[in-house]
Amino acid sequence: MKYFATITLIGKDKSGVIAGVTQYLFQTRANIEGLEEQVLRGQFSMTLQASWSAADFAEAAIRGGLQKLAATLRMELQVHFARRDQRQRMALFVTREAHAPAAILAAAKKKQIGADIALLLSNRRELQPLAVKSNIPFYLVDFKERAAAETLTLDILERERIDFIVLARFMKILSPNFVWRWKNKIINIHPSLLPAFPGASAYRQAYEKGVKVVGVTAHFATPDLDQGPIIWQESFRVKSGEALASIVSRGQAAESKCLVTAVKLFLKNRLDVHWGRVFGV
């Protein structure tokens, strides 16, 4: 049996952070399986994946040591521990379109997705009945003040022991401050074949350009809007003279299928992200 951790450190850029963390993990007999770091406008972010054998794993001691190190470095720390055979806990972020979250909920009910949907979080109340029907906790977070909303959301995710997030047509832009804390742990669905037509009204953009193939993209969310590593895509041909409403309807069906596929791939541990690209699909 192996135990795993995803460790995130965020703070003002300075030297010695990576060395300090890796040296400490070496002392705990950890195996470092992946490490990514970046600096943006003086802000440092590092995500590290480590594993331990059952004989070497002591969660409380490891967490305590990392917290002490983070305090010394004046960095913010997040640690998620898990076993390879442990079911992950998913948070579904929604707004008011039901097709994508309904597809995830249906797949989970049929046991096609090997994760527990721990909560539905939204900036509106329209989809609260969907959570009630599925017997899932519903959290309403008003995103009019984004910084305060994100702080509250991070607290909820920590309290509910969430492992990853699915943006199922969540129509709010998350800040780099939030996304960095969940690097390669936020799956988003976008209604275009990225990198074409990022941003809002993607179906209308495609329709007005007269494209012949329309599609959707599931990708990891990053600080750059709709520019994250692509996990999966679905597409369909536009019929001659097809109305925008028909394209949107077919696109929503493709979104649902694409998002479910992306979540399945993520849960099968088949995805590795290197230099902004997803490998292993």
Q: Return d(Cα 278, Cα 268) in angstroms, integer.
A: 14
Secondary structure E strands in 147-248: 164-167, 186-190, 213-220, 230-237
Residue 281: is its pLDDT beyond 70?
Answer: no
Mean model confidence pLDDT for the chain:
91
Dihedral sign for Cα 179, 181, 184, 188, please: negative
**183-242 pLDDT, tens digit each:** 889 999 999 999 999 998 999 999 999 999 999 999 999 888 888 899 999 999 999 999
Query: What angle, rounded to 10 degrees, do the helices at 59-73 and 17-27 form?
Result: 160
The single residue of 99, 190, 219, 274 carrying the catalytic annotation is 190
108's tokens = 């989970």
Please check the confidence at residue 277 and state whether its pLDDT lies above 70. no
pLDDT at 41 over 90: no
Nearest to 215 by CA among 224, 201, 202: 202
Q: Name the residue with higher pLDDT: 166 or 4.
A: 166
- Name residue 12's beta-bridge partners: 43
Q: Which residues pair with 53 in a beta bridge?
A: 2
**For residue 8, what are the contacts with CB-CB under 8 A and spacing of at least 6?**
45, 46, 47, 48, 77, 78, 79, 180, 181, 182, 183
Does 88-279 carry CATH code 3.30.420.40?
A: no
Show me where the domains of the chain are located.
Answer: 2-83, 88-279
Q: Whole-angstrom Cα distance, residue 35 to residue 12? A: 18
Q: What is the pLDDT of residue 276?
A: 53
Rg (CA), the chain: 20
- 88-112 residue pLDDT tens: 899 999 999 999 999 999 999 999 9
What are the b/e assignments for 144-168, b being 16+ CB within 10 Å? eeeeebbebbbebbeeeebbbbbbb
Q: How many CB atoms lie within 10 A of CB 81?
A: 18
pLDDT value for 278: 55
> Is residue 99 annotated as a catalytic residue, yes or no?
no
CATH architecture under which domain 2-83 falls: 2-Layer Sandwich (3.30)
- The pLDDT value given to residue 275: 45
Quick check: 125 pLDDT over 60?
Answer: yes
- Using a 10 angstrom Cβ sphere, with 0-12 exposed, 13-18 middle and 19 or more buried, the burial of residue 82 is middle
Each residue's pLDDT tens digit, 138-188: 999 999 999 999 999 999 998 998 989 999 999 999 998 899 888 889 999
Which one has a higher pLDDT value, 215 or 1? Answer: 215
Q: How far apart are CA 272 and CA 279, in angstroms?
A: 5
pLDDT band at 39 (very low <50, low <70, confident <90, very high): confident
Measured between its terminal Cα atoms, the distance across the chain in Å is 26
